[in-house]
Structure 1
Amino acid sequence: MMDLNQEKFTTSTDTKLATKNKELLSSAMKRTNEWIFSQEIPSDITVNAGGISFSLHKFPLISKCGYLRKLVLEFADSDLSVVEIPDVPGGAEAIELAAKFCYGINFEISTDNIGHA
């Protein structure tokens, strides 16, 4: 049987490990995104939204966006290279901001660039 002090230590250790894992993952994602840009790797997916096409990379998108991950996994057998998102709230600007988020690019969120419900 675990006493109260052991339980607190275990919980504290688990929390510290989870935080450290998130920091390592975040750092790895940042390095990966920087590497993608520095190597000028050709895009492997095009996202069409609001009449604008965005040439992007699957890895940063599917690692941070569940919606695109689901789309890519649904078509895993085929060579999915174009994704159509016709009615996204906020239009093409929202897709641009979402892509920046996925690539780890900082941007300011304001009332002007948030999609209206």
Structure 2
Amino acid sequence: MPDQEDRNWQRLDKWLWCARFLKARSDCARLVQDGLIRVNRQPTDKPHARLRPGDVVTLPRRGQGVTVLRILALASRRGPASEARTLYEEIPEPGRSGIEPTTAGLQPAP
């Protein structure tokens, strides 16, 4: 009998759908296929990419900029928005949180 595969992961498109970032799972798959999503700083165009708790996902924000998320949990279902918000935490961008670039080890442009 083969060893049981580690199942502590979820498909990227399904997780995005369960976390209520888009209304349809096919839209989530299309967003990934268009190459607009990064998982742990690596661009991916595979909707079946494996997502695990602790991974960092970067996705485009409506309008301008990006949203950076840390995955806290995998989804068992597509529940209400209050349940979906427990699946991730948003990592603030340096400019939005009031953190200066120099505190992140970057030098300001002259």
TM-score by length of 1: 0.24
**Larger Cα-atom Rg:** 1
More strand by share: 2
Larger relative contact order, structure 1 or 2 (CA cutoff 8 Å, min sep 6): 1
More helix by share: 1
